[in-house]
Amino acid sequence: MKLLHSSDWHLGKKLGPYSRLEEQKEVLEEIIALKEREKPDLVIISGDLYDTWNPPHEAIELLYRSLKRLSGDALTPVIALAGNHDAPDHIEAPDPLARECGIFFMGYPESCPKDINFPGGLSVSFPDPGMICLDGLPSGDPVNIICTPYASEVRLRRFLGTEEKDETMRSVLRVQWKNLAKKHYSHTSVNLLAAHLYMGSKGELLQEEEPEGEKSILHPGGLEMIYTEDLPQGCQYAALGHLHRGFPLAGSSVPAIYSGSPASYSMNEYKGGNSVVLAEIEAGEKASFRFEKLASPWPLYRESFSSVEESLSWLRDHQKGYVELILKTREYIKGSDKQKILQAHPRILAVIPELPPLRSPREEKSSSFSSRPVKELFREFYRHNRQDLEPSGELLELLDEIISGEETI
């Protein structure tokens, strides 16, 4: 059985004032083309379909159109989980129509939609909350999937039937997974788990920084780290979402894979890999997988330059993307120079001056602000903020009066 695993689309995302929707359309076209080329039996999207609980209508339309194309005429099953950025009710709202197209939304850990049979022989059943069973896939293997969309600890405790504060969430979730696996996993089926969680191996420090805007998933109010050791026996592949770089969790006996986001969504991710995962799994066999690198149509750059001219030359050659520009300087960036930089590129996020290291105390004292006349400092500041315009004579006279302590009558 071949699986296409993706996550963290964050449709409707903005970077500063800039919408990412157009480039999201481009990268989803790439995922759809990959699906049509590889012809997987199943597609799983492990949460954070949108970037906000109330996404713009353009993002909603893009999601529905993209999922419909991923399912295609052959009705390849598409399972989409809610992440911590998604409103569960919103995610599940189109279920009556989506399921007819082979698309199954799981908004809550306790989600349990109605079973459905398709004319081609595919059947999708939900025997227990959080459990999906598929039969009649082209590969011939039945597939059983434990699904855990994101939920706050309060909601998850309520669903799992425990209010014991001393009992860790990971232990409660481990029991739930174990019970579902014991009941539904089989040696003659492909056994999967799909979840939007912060997961790592016990005793190993996860060397992965959480993306901006994702830390709310942690305590307090979110979920503690779930250990890979808590994955149920018999699970052959864990399709994870939440972290934006694609990588397999080290130390896990089961392939526990973060597929990665299809695009870099903050400057902390500007060197991150944009990817999806293709996995091949047979009943009773160890899963194999590979990451498929996605082209970032609008890359993120953090570049440093020693002069305005150098930065302008680079900007002219890199028009498609977002830029955080660092300019090494010994003084203010002139207003006229900053305007040249901003006009040279359509998506500059910031122009940051980088001052040289502090000099020796004697050198520092000789060039400190305190050793320069106030009027000189004011004129320099005024020129910097007014694109090199000189302050008027009246303004300088007023400054003299303020310095001398005289009152204007």
What H or E segment, with its residue span, contains residue 278?
A: strand 275-280
- Residue 408: pLDDT band (50, 70, 90) is very low
Q: What is the pLDDT of residues 68-112, one digit of tens each?
A: 999 999 999 999 999 999 999 999 999 889 999 999 999 998 899
At 288, is the secondary structure helix, strand, or coil?
A: strand
Token code pair at residue 243: 């972290």
Q: State the Cα–Cα distance between residues 104 and 145, nearest whole angstrom.
A: 12
Task: Please give the distance of CA 45 from its chain centroid, rounded to a whole number.
Answer: 13
- Residue 220: pLDDT band (50, 70, 90) is very low
- Lowest-confidence pick of 104-118, 331-345, 365-379: 365-379
Q: State the Cα–Cα distance between residues 243 and 250, nearest whole angstrom.
A: 14
Q: State the Cα–Cα distance between residues 194 and 136, nearest whole angstrom.
A: 20
Q: State the Cα–Cα distance between residues 363 and 367, nearest whole angstrom.
A: 7
> Any idea what DSSP says for residue 348?
E
- Residue 50: pLDDT band (50, 70, 90) is very high
pLDDT given at position 253: 87
Q: Would you kindly state where each structural domain of the chain is located, as residue ranges?
A: 2-293, 299-356, 369-409
- Is the pLDDT reported for residue 19 higher than 90? yes
Q: What is the pLDDT of residues 122-173, one digit of tens each?
A: 999 999 999 999 999 999 999 999 999 997 777 777 766 766 655 577 888 8
pLDDT given at position 76: 97
At 310, is the secondary structure helix, strand, or coil?
A: helix
Q: Name which of 342, 212, 196 is nearest 269 in CA terms.
A: 212
- Is the pLDDT reported for residue 409 higher than 50? no
Token code pair at residue 78: 């598409």
At 366, is the secondary structure helix, strand, or coil?
A: helix
Fold for the domain defined by 2-293:
Purple Acid Phosphatase; chain A, domain 2 (3.60.21)
- Residue 233: pLDDT band (50, 70, 90) is very high
- Lowest-confidence pick of 226-230, 265-269, 373-377, 402-406: 402-406
Instruction: Quote the mean pLDDT of the chain.
Output: 87
């353009």: which residue's tokens?
58
Cα angle 325, 331, 336; round to 5: 65
- Is the pLDDT reported for residue 371 higher than 80? no
Q: What is the largest CA-CA distance in the chain?
A: 95
Range among 71-85, 251-265, 332-346 with highest mean pLDDT value: 71-85
């004579």: which residue's tokens?
393
- Is the pLDDT reported for residue 219 higher than 50? no
